[in-house]
Structure 1
Amino acid sequence: MKIAISTEGDYVSEHFGRCPYFTFFEVSDGIILKRELVQNIEHSPGAVPKFLKEKGVDLIISGGMGRKAVDLFRTFGIEIIIGAQGKIDDIIEKYLKGNLKVDDESSKPCGGGHPDRECAKNEDEIICITSEGNDLNSNVDERFGRCSWFLVFNLNDFSYEAVENPYKEEMGGAGIKAVKFLAEKGVKTLLTGNLGKNAKEALEAAKIKVLTDVKGTVKEAVEKFVLGFKKI
């Protein structure tokens, strides 16, 4: 059996996707056969579960994890233990003694103990991020109706479509037209910088949830959302 523990220094990292390392343990009959420290990959959203599967991992132990990440690990047949805290050596010892259990309710701890963080819900399959460019390394555009690009993500398979905003040069009503565009794309959640009053009301009417004050790159924003941060 191969176990991966999200690692930061000597301790379990709170968030598996952004941990600097994983500690791999190969175990058999309660005995550690091999221990290896492996650097986390520079990844696009959803790549870490696939990376660990390719490494032959059977179980991931971490501090916290979002709903989408949980679903991905389950898709790959990887068991999950979350909510782990403490030193790596202590955690693996507890597991081998049977004192750490696989959590069937594994969405519960994904807030990492922070009340302002909620799990990403299954209904958030399609999200849109306003972007200054057409790729993951572009910065989030603080504008909504007149942003440069819309990046629309399908979180089921982490594919995305980059669409240049056709309304960015509009004299008026750009925000409302953009909302109609998102609704037609099936977007459930919008990540952006700022919103005007009319756009906000139109989004509410379209039942599209909104996260504002989002900063950094598109890649960072998606990763935070997938990891369970509803407040980015």
Structure 2
Amino acid sequence: MRYLVPLEENAGLASRLSSHFRRAPYFAVVEIRGGEASYEIKPNPAAGADPGAGPCGVLDILASFGADAIVARRVGIRAARRLREAGVEVYEAPPGTLGDVIAGLKSGSLRRADLEAWSSRPCGQGSVEGTAFYPPPPWPPPPPMPYPPHVGPAMPTSVGRPPERLKIAFSTNGRAGLDDTIAGRFARCPTFTVVEVEGGRVLNVEVHDNPFTTYPHGAGFAVAQFLANMGVNAVVAPRFGPNAWQALASLGISVHVVPAGTRVREALRSVVG
């Protein structure tokens, strides 16, 4: 898991946390793996940018730094709404330094932020950060295996009005088909259960192993293209990372959110009725 932390300075573990997100001078990318933590600090390329420039926002900041979640003192109202809609995890930063954040991440003591409350604050109560900017290209390492071949984007699909025929991919834990359960994550789930439906009737059920479970970074992009290549036009999972969210939207694949542990056949009803 990679966490993005806004900082006031580049002073290693002693770096003070920033009270702002978009305007923070620096960001730390903290990775927790096997109980061990590593981090790197990079300048925020948007710190001095025109607040009204560009069509992108907080999800693009996450994608540009290759992060999955945020640890911050606060985020703006609009940013909180976007993060809540995308299912991105946000944790409240403790007062202090980057070292305090890393200690909290390792111990699991950081509290999950209430994005619903943050996104519904009345005007004048909290920041309105989250204004758009054009992020720089991300800095991912070379992928361990090639991405699937690119195909052109499908026509956009409305979440509320599915087409007569759907090919739906469910992020699942095993190979039990309609009796399987929804996995906790999208891009790194063990399998995808793909169900073809027409007129409310199930035509076919297939289970595919997820070849990107061990990708170090960029699994969301790769999985979205993998599913698009299979002709999938809707996906179901409990949450989606910013990379996956953007890639799915660009490919015209509709997104549906259900709780982890839901049976596939029950999740299917939430999509097709």
Q: TM-score, normalised by structure 2?
A: 0.38
TM-score (norm 1): 0.44
